[in-house]
């Protein structure tokens, strides 16, 4: 039996190797910051989602240490048993205030938050309208909900309108989109989506994992960037392991939305709560993010500098609005080769290959942080030019 299983798995693994899509885990020694030691090599990392540089912030770490003394390490149980501490409660209140919503609910991961949301809101008699480039967690959430899926062309409200017009009139309608798309770095056309949701009596849900803390005057994300409130986007999901620099996720919305999740969402009910020390650390990072105008301004300056450099190299890239700046190179083989050249030169920039992105659109995913310097960005551009010449 075990021999049969191993033979089957080896065939699958061989297919991945032959396609040039093999993945491996790199080992980081030390904190999350631009200058790192990866697999024993000193590099400057341009791949982290730590957009404001909060993952290694001393104030965030100090809050975690203090909470460890107070609460210990593990939560011990689910939120609804005795795993919900005052630290969790204070974090949820802060996240509700940060996003301008009535309430917020904390989850252990963004994947779980999306599974909980979609399954709590729709079922097999309902229809979900999805952007084609939505995150995998949203795609899986819709599949597991049993709802009818209608995918519309990426960031094209006109195609969404066509889908809405042709969809069955029965059941609920849910429009689901990323706020900032994780592989392309562009921002969803939220005002148009909100208008369509109102016109066709649909609910709009935004996964703003990559927009929160970065976009908007106070880091309120893609909704704040467009001046949209809870009436426009009643269902908001955000993660804590990116711009906020810790781990976990949350859902923000109305009193009834949050209470519905507490009462019905299996990924919430049946999961151990995140450690209280992590909640306390995140509370500190949320307070920092709300007033981090200097960090966001520095990040925007770095983005413009990177964009100018990519233009000089003749490399297409999205507008320098979000920290995600992909450079599409075509084949998985070429993207991997350039990434390896950069690593040898002391820069960690991952190659993103199919099936994460479509065939022929393999890319380098450059991400910037407020912790980077102009000198580091300039050095990356010089190394990228050399790496492209060598492949």
pLDDT of 213 higher than 80: yes
Nearest-angstrom CA–CA distance, 368 and 362: 19
277 falls within a domain: yes
Where does the pLDDT of residue 1 fall: very low under 50, low under 70, confident under 90, or very high at 90 and above? Answer: low
Of 108, 137, 182, 222, catalytic:
182
User: Are 235 and 270 found together in one domain?
Assistant: yes
285 given a catalytic annotation:
no
Is 7 part of any domain?
no
Distance CA 375, CA 46 (A): 13
Q: Residues 74, 124: one domain?
A: yes
Average pLDDT (100-111) is: 98
Shared domain check, 213 and 144: yes
Question: 220 and 205 in one domain?
Answer: yes
In tens, the pLDDT along 133-167 reads 999 999 999 999 999 999 999 999 999 999 999 99
Active site residue 210: yes
Residues 193 and 315 in one domain: no
- Same domain, yes or no: 268 and 338: no
Residue 266 lies in a domain: yes
Q: Which residues are annotated as a binding site for substrate?
A: 23, 135, 356
Give the C-alpha separation, 214 to 130, whole Å: 24
- Tell me if 12 is assigned to some domain: no
Same domain as 142, residue 68: yes
pLDDT for the residue 22: 82
Output the domain CATH number for residue 156. Answer: 3.40.640.10
Q: Which among 366, 367, 384, 379 is positioned nearest to 313, based on CA atoms?
A: 384
- With a CB cutoff of 8 Å and minimum separation 6, the contacts of 248 are 106, 107, 108, 109, 239, 240, 241, 274, 278, 279, 282
Task: Give the DSSP H/E element, type plus range, for residue 169.
Answer: none
Last residue of a domain, one of 242, 265, 290: 290
Show which of 290, 312, 334 is a domain's final residue: 290
Tell me: do 209 and 342 sit in the same domain: no
Confidence band for 169, pLDDT divided at 50, 70 and 90:
confident
Residue 61 has pLDDT above 90, yes or no: yes
User: Do 39 and 115 share a domain, yes or no?
Assistant: no
Best CA proximity match to 208, nearest among 175, 184, 232, 242? 242
**Catalytic annotation on 182?**
yes
Number of structural domains found in the chain: 2
Domain ends where: 290, 317, 342? 290
Which residue positions form the known binding site? Answer: 23, 110-111, 135, 182, 210, 239, 356
* DSSP annotation of 83: I
| Angle separating helix axes 86-99 and 276-290, nearest 10 degrees | 30
Backbone angles phi, psi at 126, to 5 degrees: -115, 170
pLDDT of residue 3: 84
The whole-number average pLDDT for the span 68-95 is 97
Q: What is the mean pLDDT of residues 84-102?
A: 98
Residue 94 exposure: Cα atoms within 13 Å on the Cβ side: 20
Instruction: Characterize 85-114 residue by residue with b for buried, 16 or more Cβ atoms within 10 angstroms of its Cβ, and e for exposed.
Output: bebbeebbebbbebbebebbbbbbbbbbbb
Domain assignment present for residue 148? The answer is yes
79 and 146, same domain (yes or no): yes
* pLDDT at residue number 115: 98
Read off the CATH number of the domain in which 347 is found: 3.90.1150.10
Binned at pLDDT 50, 70 and 90, residue 276 comes out as very high
Out of 242, 298, 317, 372, the active site residue is: 242
Confidence of residue 87 (pLDDT cuts 50, 70, 90): very high
In a domain, 124, yes or no: yes
| DSSP state for residue 166 in the 8-state scheme | H
Span of 56-70, 253-267, 350-364 with lowest mean pLDDT: 350-364
Range of the domain at 324: 22-52+293-389
Do 355 and 218 share a domain, yes or no? no
Residue 217 domain-assigned? yes
pLDDT of 355? 85
User: Is 132 inside a domain boundary?
Assistant: yes
Mean pLDDT along residues 277-294:
98
Residue 78 preceded by cis peptide, ω within 30: no
Average pLDDT, the chain: 96
Q: Are 148 and 126 in contact (CB under 8 A)?
A: yes
276 and 316 co-located in one domain: no
Q: Binding-site residues for pyridoxal 5'-phosphate, please?
A: 110-111, 182, 210, 239
Catalytic residue from among 79, 84, 210, 372: 210
């Amino acid at each position: 039996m075990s021999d049969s299983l191993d033979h089957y798995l080896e065939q699958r693994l061989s297919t991945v190797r032959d396609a040039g899509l093999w993945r491996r885990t790199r080992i980081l020694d030390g904190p999350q910051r631009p200058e790192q030691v990866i697999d024993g090599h000193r590099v400057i990392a341009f791949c982290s989602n730590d957009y404001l540089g909060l993952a290694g912030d001393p104030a965030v770490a100090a809050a975690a240490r203090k909470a460890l003394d107070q609460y210990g390490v593990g939560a011990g149980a689910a939120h609804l048993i005795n795993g919900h501490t005052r630290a969790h409660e204070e974090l949820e209140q802060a996240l509700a205030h940060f996003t301008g919503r009535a309430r917020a609910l904390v989850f252990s991961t963004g994947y779980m938050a999306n599974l909980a949301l979609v399954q709590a809101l729709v079922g097999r008699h309902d229809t979900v309208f999805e952007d084609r480039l939505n995150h995998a967690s949203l795609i899986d959430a819709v599949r597991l909900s049993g709802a009818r899926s209608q995918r519309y062309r990426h960031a094209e409200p006109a195609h969404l309108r066509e889908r809405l017009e042709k969809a069955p009139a029965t059941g609920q309608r849910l429009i689901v989109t990323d706020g900032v798309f994780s592989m392309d770095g562009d921002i969803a056309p939220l005002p148009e989506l909100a208008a369509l949701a109102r016109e066709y009596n649909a609910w709009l849900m935004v996964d703003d994992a990559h927009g929160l803390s970065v976009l908007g005057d106070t880091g309120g994300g893609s909704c704040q960037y467009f001046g949209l409130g809870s009436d426009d986007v009643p269902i908001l999901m955000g993660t804590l392991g990116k711009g906020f620099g810790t781990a976990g996720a949350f859902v923000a919305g109305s009193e009834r939305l949050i209470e519905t999740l507490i009462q019905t969402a299996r990924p919430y009910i049946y999961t151990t709560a995140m450690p209280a020390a992590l909640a306390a650390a995140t509370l500190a990072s949320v307070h920092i993010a709300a007033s981090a105008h200097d960090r966001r301004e520095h990040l925007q300056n770095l983005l413009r500098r990177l964009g100018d450099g990519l233009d000089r190299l003749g490399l297409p890239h999205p507008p320098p609005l979000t920290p995600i700046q992909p450079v599409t190179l075509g084949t998985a083989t070429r993207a991997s080769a350039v990434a390896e050249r950069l690593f040898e030169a002391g820069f960690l920039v991952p190659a993103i290959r199919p099936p994460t992105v479509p065939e022929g659109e393999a890319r380098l995913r450059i991400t910037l942080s407020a912790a980077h310097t102009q000198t580091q960005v300039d050095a990356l551009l010089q190394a990228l030019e050399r790496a492209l010449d060598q492949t």
